[in-house]
Structures are given as C-alpha cells and as structure tokens.
Structure 1
C-alpha cells in the first residue's frame, strides 16, 4: 500500500471514529448493545471467510454467523493464540515466523510489517511472548479513543506531550506515542518519548527543557518523577498527568495531583485491545469504551472481544485483569463504569548502579524483552547487584538454536543494563522447563525478589537439579 494512501486511510478512520464516539455518548445502553452485536456479526462473517481457525471452529460448533452472539464461542486463551497464530490471522501474509524475523531486526515502533501492519508484542502477566498485528484501519480504530479525554488540538499549535515509557521496541505504549508523531498528526502534537530505561538524571533534564503540557506514563514510574518534582529537581507544570499500563490507586492519583498540581486521567489499555477505557478528568471510576469492545466481567478474570481488529480477530479472549464494576450505574448511561482493576502489578527491581546510586529497571522494560526462540521468562532479583533470568524455549529448537537464543538474550540484557548505567550488575541465564509460581499465591510473577527469601531459593535449586 502506498505510504500516503495508508496514512490517509488511518487519519480519516480516526476522524470517523471520533465522530462516532460523540454520537454514542448519547445512546441508551440497549442501543449501544445493538450496535455491538451488529459489529460482532460483521467480524464473525469476516473471520469465517478469511481465518482458518475460526472457520473450523464455526463449522464444528454449527454457529450461525447471522444470528450468533459472543457466548456461542469458546474462551480464547493466550496459549491458544500463540499455538494457532498463523491460523487465526485473516491475512495469509501474516505468520509467526515472518513477524519473529521482523521484530528481531526492527526496534523502531514506527516501522510497519510489510509496510502496512502495526505489530506489538508482550510477555504479559504469564511471561509468555505473544504478537498482535493490526492493519492501519484497525490501529486507527483502537487509537482513536485516546482523544476522548483530551482537549481538541489546534492545527499548527501542537500540544506538547511527554511519554515516559519503554520506548526502544514494538511495544503498545510507545507505538501509540509514535502515532502522534506521524504524518498530519505532527500538526497537532509535539511528542517527546522518553525511554524509561535511560538514567533518571537524563530524563529529568529533557523534561525540564521540554516543559510538557501533558505527561503520560506508568504510575510506578511517574511516582519517581513526582518525588523529584517535590525535591525541586524536576520543575515542570503539565496541565494533565495521564496514567496507564498498570493498575493505580486513588492514592497514586492524589500523589501525582499534589506533586504536579495537575489534572489526572487514568487510562485502561492493553497490547491486545489498545485503549480500553479511561477515567473522566479527576475522577476515580473508569469508563469502559464498549463502542468497539465487548466485556464479560468475572470474579477472577475478564473476557474481552475486539470488534475492530479484523486482521487478527480476538473473540472472547481471557485476560487476568479483574474489573470491579460500580455498584450504582445510571440506567441510561451507555457504558459500564468500573471502580478498579486488579492485576498486572509488578514491583520494579532496584539495583545499585555504577555511580553507587540506587536506581530501578521498569517491569515494562523486562516485560517487553523479545528474542526469537524464547517462549517465556522470569527475572529473579538476588541482591542489590545481581539477578538470575529463567527462560523456557520454544519447542523443537536444536541445541545450537537454544544456545544462539541465550546469547542474544544475554546481549539484550546487557544493553538494558548499560543504558541504565548498571554494567556492574551481575546476572546469569538459566534454561528451565517450567517457571516457578509464587508459593504464597500460587500465581506467576514476572519479577520475583529473592532477597531474604530462603524458601524460594531452595525451590529454585531443586528445579535446576
């Protein structure tokens, strides 16, 4: 696809979706559900025609594509996505091998696969690497919700936005930020992306020079900046601070509001579904954007269906997030409101750097490590200057391929440490068959602090034996 034509399709799709969102705000809940069902059946018909995985599933279950509802379909897990990736895709040019090669050679989130597909990847809450492709049109639909909490930008007077996140790869957050830098969007936005794995003093200098109107990032990382703001080292006055990428509490929001004297917006998003909801300015409840998503809330997980991604349909996809609905909701309000999100919480590992100062590595930097051949991984912090990295490899690899993958992983981790001025931190990589779970909760954690945890140490030794 011609780059100009693709960019035009993306821009005008965003305009169309923004107008649709305004109309939908005035719908009744029933009218929005009717709209959802119409979009769902359109998606199912497309999947039946172009996706071998869904065609087989629909025929096996005798699902009527003209009258179906989401509950007619089984739950789709991340493991099933990884296992059936090529068959789920509705585009035959999109396959796991080609995307793996693309990601191995491209760290620029502005690069498009085959010149026309956005690719984002994550290891998520279970440490398993997965890819999610979007066409330009799909991407515009998912990204368009970002405008719902922001003032309408003025052409040729771009809003200055600073994004503090994992920025050196095809990750969801930085890919969204990069969209604001492209083509006609540059008339409306001046976006500064700050790599969360850069030394903190460099980040603070860039922010002081840039003076953003909007500051966005992960709550845990923004809390570090808030402390520097209180100390008078960071001196910025953003109009709003936008949180996303991990759960936050009302206390987190109040901490940031007090430090920056700004408004607070809390976004709910994911690699799989892009922008999923947000809190209206300075409120704690989050509005779920059900225009293009269908949610099923359960006590210990959520089921989400994308109504906009026709390139890689996700029908009844299971997420570990627990969404807590508001008890009292206006009957005629079209959207579900939630009062909190439980899940995706990881502690940032702390290490002593080359200068003898305490600094952190964002969990998002660890979460987004990509190396071909590595299926799952886990970081285990042992001391203030050492950690181990446990990896499970993809099935069917030869001993040579496993050794090459481990060498690439070592190189990637060294790059992360060097960028953070932590070359003094020692680490080992261990190839294992299974990853450990938290012995207390029996749940997997991407980052485990083993300091003073003798029981976990003994468990690790037993697994290595």
Structure 2
C-alpha cells in the first residue's frame, strides 16, 4: 500500500501547484487548524502546555497563530515522551533503537522512521515519522525535478551514510519497495571517507542523478574540472547545507548541461521547499509547512506529521522573502536562507594531504547519554570534543563509546594520526559576541 499512497499524494500535491495564492493560504490554514486541534486533544504535551498558557479548546478555531506560544528543541528534549499519541514511544526506546539499528532503512517498532540530528544547536534531537507521512515526503520530493518521469535511472548519493540521517534515509527509502524498480542502479558514497576512493567506481557507474551535500558535490566537481572524474548527470540535487552562490556557479561551470537543484529541509520537516533553475528562486511548500518568517528566526509548523506534531517550533534559519510577486508557483518565494553555515575543519591526514571532516558528520554524531556536544579544533592535527552527559548513564561507558565513534570517523578518513581529547563539561554556552551556539569552533 505504501507505493499507492505515495502515488495518491503525488497527484493531490500536483493539483496544488495550479491553485491560486488565496486558495493555497486557505488550504494551509485548514491543515493548521486540523493539526492544532489534534495536538491539543491527543498529544499530552500540548494539552498541558496550552492550558498553562490560558488557551482553551474552544479557542483553537480562531486564535491567531502568533498568539500560540512557541516551542524549541530543548522543550521537545525535556518533554519527549509526551509528544506522542503512541505511548510506547519513549526517549529511552528511541535511543536504544538508534544504538542497535544503525541501518537508515530500519524502523522503530517496524513502523516509524527515526531521524536524529543536533543541527546547528549541538543538542541531540529525535524526530519520528509514520510510514504514511514518509510516503507524503517521498511524493512531495518529486517537486525537486522540473521534468519528473517514471523512467528508470541511476542514482548516486554523497553524504553521511552510517546512521539515521535525513538525506540517506530518504535516498534509500525506495529499497525493498515497489518504487525500487525505478532505481536502475544506485551508488552510495560516504562523505567521511576520502572522496578520491570513489572516483573510479563513479566513472564506471555514470549516474543520471547526483544527490548530496553541496561541499561533497563541489569536491566531485573539482575532480571533474581536473579531468580525473568524467560523469554527466542530468540533475544534481543539493541539500543538507546551504548551496552558496559561488558553489552553485562552479557546479554550473563544470556541468553546463546539468540542472542544479537546491532542496530545503530540516530534521523537523524533511519537506520544506526547493529552488530549481526554471523556478528562478526558492519556493516554500506552503501546503506542507507553515513558516512564520521573522527578522531573526523562522517559526515552523509541520502540517503533515501527526506522529510527533511540531507546532510553532523555533528554527535558527533566517529566511528573506523575495520581492518578486509574479512567481511560477502559488507559494511563498524566498531570496535566501542564512544562519545554517558551519565552519569546516581541515586536518593533515596520514598521507600528508589536507582533508576535511564534514560538519554534518559532526552534527549527526550520536551516542546514547550524550545530550549536547561541541567540536573544537586546536590545529591541523588535533581537536577537543566537549560533551554534556546525561546523569542517568555511566560516564566511563559513554566516554569510551564517544572515543570509539570518533576513532571510527578518523579511521574512515585516514586521519588516525589526528589526536583528540574527550572533555566532559557541565554545559556548552553560546558565543559571547553573537549569542549563538557554535557546533564547530576553529
């Protein structure tokens, strides 16, 4: 039934592209009110949270969205077990699942997709989606392609691959499903391994579609520019981090006939928006998310996730609306997204070559009992990994597992010559000048 559900969503979402702006806003409002009422009635956290803020059930039909209190990652972490109608979902069970099931295609209780991320905050968060909600995400993801067809193609991915990360989870989700038929072949490249080690196989594979983190794809473009790589993808989809203008231009200079796509997503909502060349800008999926764009932050309501409702959630992303009102789609048009950039630590590896550890590999770091962390580079041969530890877990075991995970990262990158210390701290405070938390300090 999963494939049929995806097809149903696909045609339903396709109709929305032809709606008027007024009709899209009405649809968004309708979906928001439905979700809000469900959260109040079925999700213990929201009933308590709204009641304590003087909000009654009778007010939900008309209360302006901006009068509802906002939530953030810290609130979700502190009240995790109360965010679900299904009371078998607990933080401890999710952490045990992630620890014992690193394969991104595995499901919690055989029915929930689990995504984990620290994002740019350093605080570890967990986000769950039902299979039906996952089907919705797959359907709306077809908007990334200007000429989506059912033709079988070869797909390649470069990014973090050894855990329940958003991008690889979506990339592999067709496997063992009817839609796997449309994967003529697929290739996965771990960004935490030397990229050079994949070039021969990638030349042999010749992907039609290349997906991954912009920094990784830019590295491939550099090898293409040097004549070491020789591939000609029809489409390149970038996601997971900002696609900077100079990087996009470099990709276009290298692959002139390739369509460059920028997909906007977060762990809290894997479907947020897209920028395509034919769209001449980025559009937010107003039929899937309700974004309140403010000067210093963005507030997200995920309109399709009823497993773990996210209502008025504070994102650190800063969006700037486009002044162009004559858009191709009836959605909110965006000029740019800021506030997501992370520094990239470079080290000298075992071969004396300069190489990097991708920020998302650090952001997606997971060890049960580690509540918060920060990567501090000292020089090109050493770093300190600061951790805030849950008091419920044995410290020695946590530190040992953290060291093992970091050693695994370094081994894959041929950086076992790089030294590091694991430092337990009481808290990790924001930068004194900016007031913002830094996941990576260099």
Corresponding residue for residue 169 of structure 2: 175
Corresponding residue for residue 56 of structure 1: 48
State the shift of 1:328 in Å.
2.4
Instruction: Give the gaps of 5 or more residues in structure 1.
Output: 1-7, 450-465
- Cα contact 1:179–1:185 (8 A) shared by 2: no
Cα displacement string for residues 131-154 of structure 1 (whole angstroms, at most 9, x for unaligned residues): 001100111212322101323333
Cα displacement string for residues 239-262 of structure 1 (whole angstroms, at most 9, x for unaligned residues): 111111111222221111111222
- Cα contact 1:50–1:91 (8 A) shared by 2: no
Equivalent position SS for 1:234: coil
Q: 1:12 aligns with which of 4, 17, 40?
A: 4
The within-5 A match list for 1:49-448 is 49-60=41-52, 61-64=55-58, 65-150=60-145, 151-154=147-150, 158-189=152-183, 190-261=185-256, 262-281=258-277, 285-330=281-326, 334-394=330-390, 396-397=391-392, 401-448=394-441
Equivalent position SS for 2:120: helix
TM-score, normalisation: structure 2? 0.95
- Cα contact 2:210–2:237 (8 A) shared by 1: yes
CA 1:80–1:282 in structure 2 vs 1: closer, same or farther (change >3 Å)?
A: same
Cα displacement string for residues 405-425 of structure 1 (whole angstroms, at most 9, x for unaligned residues): 111100000011111111111
Cα displacement string for residues 233-286 of structure 1 (whole angstroms, at most 9, x for unaligned residues): 111111111111111222221111111222111111111100210012355510
- Cα contact 2:327–2:333 (8 A) shared by 1: no
- Cα contact 2:157–2:187 (8 A) shared by 1: yes
Equivalent position SS for 1:294: strand
Instruction: Give the gaps of 5 or more residues in structure 2.
Output: none
Equivalent position SS for 1:279: strand
CA 1:282–1:378 in structure 2 vs 1: closer, same or farther (change >3 Å)?
A: farther
- Cα contact 1:117–1:133 (8 A) shared by 2: yes
Cα RMSD for the two superposed structures? 1.7
TM-score, normalisation: structure 1? 0.90
- Please list every run of at least 4 consecutive aligned residues from structure 1 whose deviation after the TM superposition is greater than 4 angstroms: none
